[in-house]
With several copies, the nearest count.
Chain A
Amino acid sequence: MPLELKIDTRVAKIHVLEHVGSNYKVEIDGRIYDLDIEKVESDTYSILLNGKSINMEMIEGDEPSQYKVNTLNNYYEIEVVDAVARYRAKAKSHMETGSNIISTPMPGKIVKIPVQEGDIVEKGQTVIIVSAMKMESEYKSASDGIVKSIHVKVGDAVEGHQPLIEIEAQ
Chain B
Amino acid sequence: MIKKVLVANRGEIAVRVMRSCREMGILSVAVFSEADRKAMHVRYADEAYCVGPASSAESYLNIDKIIEVAKIAKADAIHPGYGFLSENATFADKVSKAGIIFIGPSIHAINTMGDKLTARELMIKSGVPVVPGTEENITDNTRLKEIANQIGYPVMIKASAGGGGKGMRLVREEKDVISAYEMAKSEARSAFGNDAVYIEKYVEGPHHIEFQIMADQHGNYVHLFERECSVQRRHQKVVEETPSPLMTPKLREEMGKRAIDAAKSVNYVGAGTVEFLVDNNLNFYFLEMNTRLQVEHPITERVTGIDLVKAQINVANGLPLPFKQEDLRQNGHAIECRIYAEDHKNNFMPSPGVVKSISEPLGLGIRTDGYVYEGYEIPFHYDPMISKLISWAPTRSEAIERMKRALYEYKITGVKTSIPFVSKIMEAKDFVDGNYDTHFIEKNMDFLMTDDDCSDYCEDIALLVAYLDYTEKMKLDGEHTLDTTHKTSQWKEFGRRKNVIRL
Contact = CB atoms under 8 A, between A and B. Distances in A.
B466 A67 contact: yes
A43 B413 contact: yes
B481 interface: no
Interface string B447-487: 00001111001111111111111110110000000000000
A26 B464 CA distance: 8
B374 interface: yes
Question: Which of A16, A19, A24, A134 has the most C-beta atoms of chain B within 10 angstroms of its own C-beta?
Answer: A134
Interface in A25-59: 26, 28-29, 31, 33, 35-49, 51-59
B382 A134 contact: yes
Given A78-B463, A134-B382, A53 B48 contact: yes
Interface residues of B, number: 69
A24 B384 CA distance: 32
Contacts of B471: 1, 3
Interface of A: 1, 3, 5, 7, 10, 12, 14, 16, 19, 22, 24, 26, 28-29, 31, 33, 35-49, 51-60, 64-65, 67, 69-76, 78, 80, 105-108, 132-135, 137
A112 to B, nearest CB: 14
A147 B351 CA distance: 27
Contacts of B469: 39, 45, 58, 67
A5 B466 contact: yes
Interface in B184-228: none
Given A14-B463, A43-B357, A53 B454 contact: no
Nearest to B381: A133
Contact of B463 (A7, A38, A42, A54): A7
A80 to B, nearest CB: 4
Contact of A42 (B454, B462, B474, B491): B491
Mostly, the A contact residues are: strand
Given A55-B43, A69-B466, A78-B466, A42 B460 contact: no
B465 A47 contact: yes
A41 B350 contact: no
Nearest to B487: A64
Given A1-B471, A40-B376, A44-B357, 16 more contacts: A19-B503, A35-B464, A37-B464, A39-B469, A43-B356, A45-B469, A60-B491, A64-B488, A69-B462, A74-B459, A75-B345, A76-B462, A78-B462, A78-B466, A80-B466, A137-B349
Interface of B: 29-30, 37-38, 42-49, 72-73, 341, 345, 347-353, 356-357, 373-376, 380-384, 408, 411, 413-414, 420, 451-454, 457-471, 473-474, 488-489, 491-492, 494, 499-501, 503
Given A64-B473, A132-B350, A133-B350, A41 B357 contact: yes
Contacts of A5: 463, 466-467
Contacts, number: 187
Contact of A16 (B42, B473, B503): B503
Nearest to B384: A133
Contact of A29 (B42, B347, B352, B460): B460
20 contacts: A3-B471, A35-B461, A36-B37, A39-B501, A40-B373, A41-B375, A42-B374, A42-B375, A46-B37, A49-B461, A51-B47, A53-B43, A53-B45, A53-B46, A64-B488, A74-B454, A78-B466, A107-B352, A107-B380, A134-B383
Contact of B353 (A40, A58, A106): A106
Given A33-B464, A42-B491, A132-B352, A53 B47 contact: yes
Contact of A33 (B43, B47, B376, B460): B460
Given A3-B467, A57-B413, A106-B380, A73 B451 contact: yes
Contacts of B489: 60, 64
A1 B356 CA distance: 30
Contacts of B458: 54, 71, 73-74
A3 to B, nearest CB: 6
Nearest to A47: B461
B460 A37 contact: no
Q: Which 8 A-B pairs have the closest CB atoms?
A: A133-B350, A73-B452, A133-B384, A53-B48, A78-B466, A80-B470, A67-B466, A51-B47
B356 A42 contact: yes
A126 to B, nearest CB: 12
A7 B413 contact: no
Contact of A52 (B47, B411, B464, B465): B47
A37 B47 contact: no
A39 B500 contact: yes
B239 to A, nearest CB: 19
A16 B472 CA distance: 14
